Amino acid sequence: MNAPMELARRHRLQWWEALPWIAALACFFAFPNYLAFGTQVLVTILFALSLDLVLGYAGIVTLGHAAFFGAGAYTVGMMAMHWGWNEPLSGLLAAALVAGAIGLASGLVLLRTQGLALLMLTLCTMALLEQAANMGAEWTGGFDGMPGLSFGKIFGLFGFDVLYYKSQYLYALATLLICFLAVRTLVYSSFGQSLTGIRENLLRMHAVGAPVRARQVIAYTISAALAGVAGALFAQANGYVNLAVLGLERSAGVLIVLILGGYGRLYGAFVGAIAYMLLEHLLAKAYPTAWQLGLGVTLIVVALFARNGVIGMFDALRRRFGGTRT
Amino acid sequence: MKKWTPASALAAAAFTACSLLAAGATAQTVKVGVVLPYTGVGAEFGQQADRGMQMFMKLNPKAFDPYKIEIIKRDSKSPSGADAKIAVQELVAQEKVDILTGFTYSPDAIASAALFTEAKKPAVIMNAGTAWITNLSPMISRVSFSMWHAGYALGEAAVKIVKAKTAVIGYTDFPPGKDSLDAFKRGFEANGGKVIDEIPMGGAGQVPDFTPFFQRAKDKKPDVFFVFVPAGDHALGVLKTYGALGMRAAGIKLIGPGDITQDIKLQAMGDNAVGLITIHHYNADLDNPANKRLVAAWKKEYGPNSTPDFMGVQAYDGMAAIAHVVTTLKGKIDPDAAINALRGWKYDSPRGPISIDPRTRDIVMNEYLSELVKKDGRLVQKNIGVITAVKDMCKELAEGRCKQ
């Protein structure tokens, strides 16, 4: 098969791409008592997916992605707390707009730098927002956060299930599906291809006259908006927001998730979030005081033997034993 | 009509099996879910609380008789509230616990409050100190403290016991600091004292150079200098600056809430700390039979250099509260009856007599004023006075977010 044909075929939906979603729905019926945890996993997948767009595709290294997650979470939290605006879907939209705006504004400045300087500046942006949320206690609840937020029914039909997270799980799943399809379309578009080009060879993209900076800023903004949606989902599903949504721990955690799964390959976010969170969750349950040891050893093994993450490991195995690529 | 699918059949079968198992287990035992930070920055606190609970079981082996309890521990990990909430949700949904306890950090308790109400599970808070936590759910009862207990009582003690008329307040500019400032000021001025200056001394993130703040306080010549800073390096910096500026010689007494003289950190503070006056609901040097018994057993179990501190004792009392609920309700935990059993509950704790306020479900306890002195080469807390039966004044005065 010639190359253009393969490129054209590549972005068509394959039959197996329905499997994760069917599995996620099956989990809803099979594990009704685990949906609170399941909802956190879905939120983390969406957050990791947004990071994949900048880190995996555009090659923008960031340690401050929680800034946008937090901006989204605080947007819906503050709207519900101060204006009584608790309609969930418009909340998601508002969170996307606010986080996207912060992404655009900071991206215009930050993306003039690269490498370590960029890494530090993204970290600083997040720290600034965190400190602002800490100091503006009147508005944000400060360190103690905003507890007991309640949100309206989804489509006016499905109320949030405080105890079993049933509606939150399906709501998060549907939101993730829509965002995933958007990201998938984006990365296979010519815009997405040019992002990969920027990641692979910045100088050459400049040389061929591609508007490098503009594309980076656009990717950064879209990614910020998606992270904002993830943050808003987190706040709505749990009914509270506090400073931890803006912390370095969240930024670093999502980075680990993405690298573990494999970055720059769409499904890395899924595999990474599920593998990392499930492992952490089960270990912590079995050994409340010593689970970090098991998690640490696993991460070291993955870092040593699967440099491209779990998906990369499967790719390598397939190349070795499967032979042909379709 | 519900559609019958293989998945739902499987789920139904699994569910039936689980509920049969669960029913079999609850017939004999009361399940207690414990949520504490066993790892991460709070691991030391988690360990103290865990040991406090174990010491209660060891010293009171018959407390739950004839009923049995099963303790299920979960790690609340980082103090974000998110992990604690998932832990609570799973303890309720999967383990079907009857009572929840633990909660070291305020965000952990705050995030989980809606779950306590929704699931109707009584929760005994073992530490989280933000005053208005008990207002968040009718299922919450607290055996620890609020920031206002020590702050307000210290204001009262500064006038009545230290005989101070004027005070300068220096505080780290973060929420517990501001709470403590408000509480001390209300307590001090309600008893006739006068606060002549309030000095914000930087944030909680890093230790500032305290010299300019302390010089400003010294120039005002107050009777007492009330300082609220986070325990640890901030506290050490305060003591060093206080010594270097010769404030003690100038007749200005340094006072503060007792978490800066936490028992397990005491010996690291050095000679600068001698003379420091603090107030707290517990210190390991308290002279009462229950405390002597606890400290002796603790040192035997965990080594001569270990000591219980307020977190350990709060967990000890938390288990006592749960034992009271279990025996009063004869092993059948009805949530409303459990909370009612806790209202007005009295107990002879290692920190002296305590009770639960029937109205607010928060603790009522003594606050002990103590001075650090050097004895046999060790720093010990010499108790110089007590304010008895202190309530959470934030709720009594309906301050800010403490309004119902």
Candidates A47, A149, A163, A279, partner chain B, best to mutate (most B CBs within 10 A): A163
Whether B13 shows a pLDDT value over 60: the answer reads no
Whether A103 shows a pLDDT value over 60: the answer reads yes
Mean pLDDT, residues B330-336: 93
Band (A162; pLDDT cuts 50, 70, 90): confident
For A142-146, A214-218, B49-53, which range has the lowest pLDDT when averaged over its residues?
A142-146
Band (A3; pLDDT cuts 50, 70, 90): low
Encode burial over A55-73: b for 16+ CB neighbours within 10 A, e otherwise: bbbbbbebbbbbbbbbbbb
Query: What percent of chain A has a predicted confidence (pLDDT) above 70?
Result: 95
- A242 neighbourhood in chain B, CB within 8 Å: 80-81, 107, 110-111
- B22 neighbourhood in chain A, CB within 8 Å: none
B379 pairs with which residues across the strands?
B374
Alpha helices in A83-114 (DSSP H): 88-110
Q: What is the pLDDT of residues B346-400, one digit of tens each?
A: 999 999 999 999 999 999 999 999 999 988 888 888 999 999 999 999 999 988 8
Candidates B73, B110, B116, partner chain A, best to mutate (most A CBs within 10 A): B110
Candidates A39, A289, A295, partner chain B, best to mutate (most B CBs within 10 A): A289
Q: Which CA distances in Å does B27 have to B23, B30, B62, B63, B337?
A: 6, 8, 19, 19, 18
Q: What pLDDT is stored for residue B203 in this prediction?
A: 78
- A249 neighbourhood in chain B, CB within 8 Å: 78, 80
Candidates B80, B146, B174, partner chain A, best to mutate (most A CBs within 10 A): B80
Q: Which CA distances in Å does A157 have to A84, A87, A160, B104?
A: 19, 11, 10, 37
Q: From the list B10, B79, B175, which residue is nearest A30 (CB)? A: B10
* CB contact B14 to A (< 8 Å): yes
Whether B47 shows a pLDDT value over 70: the answer reads yes
Which of A112, A104, A99 is closest to A66 using CA atoms? Answer: A99
- A40 neighbourhood in chain B, CB within 8 Å: 82, 86
Q: Whole-number mean pLDDT of chain A? A: 90
Right CATH for B148-280+366-402 from 3.90.330.10, 3.40.640.10, 3.30.499.10, 3.40.50.2300: 3.40.50.2300
* CB contact A136 to B (< 8 Å): no
Mean pLDDT, residues A202-219: 92
Neighbours of A54 (CB within 10 A): 28
Q: What pLDDT is stored for residue B260 in this prediction?
A: 77
List Cβ neighbours of A293 (8 Å cut-off, separation of 6 or more): none
User: Could A144 and B130 be called an inter-chain contact, meaning their C-beta atoms sit closer than 8 Å?
Assistant: yes
Could you give the dihedral angle defined by the CA atoms of residues A273, A275, A276 and A277, in that order, rounded to the nearest 10 degrees?
70
Q: What pLDDT is stored for residue A155 in this prediction?
A: 85
Amino acid at B16: T
Whether the CB-CB separation of A49 and A273 falls below 8 Å is answered with: no
Rounded to whole angstroms, how far apart are CA atoms A258 and A48? 6
Size of interface A-B (CB pairs under 8 A): 105
Q: Which CA distances in Å does B214 have to B220, B230, B239, B304?
A: 10, 17, 11, 37
* CB contact B136 to A (< 8 Å): yes
Q: What is the pLDDT of residues A34-71, one digit of tens each?
A: 999 999 999 999 999 999 999 999 999 999 999 999 99
Q: What is the pLDDT of residues B215-237, one digit of tens each?
A: 999 999 999 999 988 777 788 88
Whether B175 shows a pLDDT value over 80: the answer reads no
Query: What percent of chain B has a predicted confidence (pLDDT) above 90?
Result: 64
* CB contact B11 to A (< 8 Å): yes
* CB contact B7 to A (< 8 Å): yes
This prediction has a pTM of 0.86
Rounded to whole angstroms, how far apart are CA atoms B98 and A108? 54
| Shortest alpha-carbon distance between residue B361 and chain A (Å) | 19
> What secondary structure does DSSP assign to A248-276, as a single string?
HHHHHHHHHHHHHH-TTSSTHHHHHHHHH
Packing angle, helices A212-238 and A166-188, rounded to 10 = 170
User: Could B80 and A242 be called an inter-chain contact, meaning their C-beta atoms sit closer than 8 Å?
Assistant: yes
What does the DSSP 8-state code read for residue B280? Answer: E
Band (B202; pLDDT cuts 50, 70, 90): confident
Mean pLDDT, residues B132-158: 93
* CB contact A44 to B (< 8 Å): no
User: Could A30 and B7 be called an inter-chain contact, meaning their C-beta atoms sit closer than 8 Å?
Assistant: yes
| Number of compact structural domains in chain A | 1
Band (B44; pLDDT cuts 50, 70, 90): confident
Token duo for residue B108? 């952990």
Cα angle for residues B352, B355, B361 (degrees, 5° grid) = 145
List Cβ neighbours of A320 (8 Å cut-off, separation of 6 or more): none
Q: From the list A37, A288, A291, which residue is nearest B86 (CB)? A: A37
Q: What pLDDT is stored for residue A136 in this prediction?
A: 86
The residue of chain B with its CA nearest to that of A36 is B86
Whether the CB-CB separation of B362 and B142 falls below 8 Å is answered with: yes
Q: What pLDDT is stored for residue A7 in this prediction?
A: 64
Query: Is A74 within a domain?
Result: yes
Q: What is the pLDDT of residues A272-285, one digit of tens each?
A: 999 999 999 999 98
Q: What pLDDT is stored for residue B48 in this prediction?
A: 93
Whether A177 shows a pLDDT value over 90: the answer reads yes
Length of chain A: 326
The residue of chain B with its CA nearest to that of A291 is B39
Packing angle, helices A19-30 and A166-188, rounded to 10 = 170
Alpha helices in B245-334 (DSSP H): 289-302, 310-328
Whether the CB-CB separation of B187 and B156 falls below 8 Å is answered with: yes
**Which position has the higher pLDDT, B169 or A149?**
B169
Q: From the list B11, B80, B90, which residue is nearest A32 (CB)? A: B11
Q: What pLDDT is stored for residue A144 in this prediction?
A: 82
Which of A135, A169, A145, A144 is closest to A41 using CA atoms? Answer: A169
Q: What pLDDT is stored for residue B24 in this prediction?
A: 44
Q: What pLDDT is stored for residue A4 in this prediction?
A: 67
| Shortest alpha-carbon distance between residue A91 and chain B (Å) | 20
* CB contact B82 to A (< 8 Å): yes
Rounded to whole angstroms, how far apart are CA atoms B293 and B184? 33
Q: What pLDDT is stored for residue A163 in this prediction?
A: 87
Whether the CB-CB separation of B237 and B269 falls below 8 Å is answered with: no
The residue of chain A with its CA nearest to that of B34 is A288
Per the structure, the complete domain to which residue A207 belongs is given by 33-245
Rounded to whole angstroms, how far apart are CA atoms A94 and A87? 11
User: Could A40 and B175 be called an inter-chain contact, meaning their C-beta atoms sit closer than 8 Å?
Assistant: no
The residue of chain A with its CA nearest to that of B88 is A163
- A277 neighbourhood in chain B, CB within 8 Å: none
* CB contact B44 to A (< 8 Å): no
* CB contact A143 to B (< 8 Å): yes
Rounded to whole angstroms, how far apart are CA atoms B245 and B242? 6
Query: Is A276 within a domain?
Result: no
**Rg, C-alpha atoms of chain A:** 20
Q: Whole-number mean pLDDT of chain B? A: 88
Q: What pLDDT is stored for residue B194 in this prediction?
A: 94
Whether the upstream peptide bond of residue B66 has omega within 30° of 0, thus cis, is: yes
Rounded to whole angstroms, how far apart are CA atoms B382 and B261? 12
CATH number for the segment(s) B6-145+296-361: 3.40.50.2300
What's the half-sphere exposure (Cβ side, CA atoms, 13 Å) at B65?
4
The overall longest dimension of chain A from CA atoms, in Å, is 63
Q: What pLDDT is stored for residue B43 in this prediction?
A: 86
Q: What is the pLDDT of residues B233-289, one digit of tens each?
A: 788 888 889 888 989 889 999 999 887 787 777 887 778 788 899 999 998 989 999
User: Could A134 and B86 be called an inter-chain contact, meaning their C-beta atoms sit closer than 8 Å?
Assistant: no
Whether the CB-CB separation of B125 and B146 falls below 8 Å is answered with: no
User: Could B114 and A40 be called an inter-chain contact, meaning their C-beta atoms sit closer than 8 Å?
Assistant: no
User: Could A242 and B85 be called an inter-chain contact, meaning their C-beta atoms sit closer than 8 Å?
Assistant: no
* CB contact A159 to B (< 8 Å): no
Structure ipTM: 0.87
Residues of chain B with CATH 3.40.50.2300: 6-145+296-361, 148-280+366-402
User: Could A240 and B111 be called an inter-chain contact, meaning their C-beta atoms sit closer than 8 Å?
Assistant: yes
Whether the CB-CB separation of B248 and B280 falls below 8 Å is answered with: no
